[in-house]
Amino acid sequence: AFTFNLLRYLVDRLRLFNDQVDTSIKVQHLMEKRATIDALTGLYNRRWFDEQFDSILNRCKKDNQSFSFIMIDIDHFKQVNDQYGHAVGDIVLHKCGEILLENARERDAAVRYGGEELSLILPSTTLEQALDIAERIRTIIEKTEFQYNKNNTLNISVSLGCSSYTGSEDKKKIMKLADDALYQAKENGRNQVRS
């Protein structure tokens, strides 16, 4: 009886310990997710971007693979917030995040870069392929009705700038090229893709 009770006690303690470890692991995974995922859009956040961009680019360089990058800016987003309120702006950001996630390939990384700026990191992707992806996303967003209450929707557009690694660019240069292309898209009337 003593041995049986001792075994039962030890098994109960072991189960309790296992439950605590399991809970601790779940909490750790949740904290890691919160540290790298933007809560509003479901996209990777700026912190993740800053930590991972170089390693993805360097892996593509090492494997002699193409690499492209897309910067996306929601056109006239300030007007959406001013006219409809920040809650509607949040709906727009959330839906744009969903669209990016639905259209990103498994190897791609969709990021909320900041504010209304989003981006896509595209390993193993040529500039021509990136332009096709960007145009598909632009078209989908342009055709999407963003429902912000039971009876009302609004339409928005996005401008996109694409860049690609061609043999010598680092993170800073690739980002600048995409940002310059995005600026051209906005200067030339918005709702378009440039490289």
Q: Which of 116, 135, 145, 169 is catalytic?
A: 116
For residue 187, indicate whether it is catalytic.
no
Element (H, E) at 114: strand 109-114
Nearest to 35 by CA among 50, 21, 23: 50
Contact 159, 190 (CB under 8 A): yes
CA-based nearest residue to 67, from 152, 177, 190, 149: 177
| 3-state DSSP assignment of residue 167 | coil
CA 83 → CA 40, 43, 88, 153, distances in Å?
Answer: 20, 26, 9, 13
Amino acid at 127: L
Residues annotated as catalytic (active site), given as ranges:
116
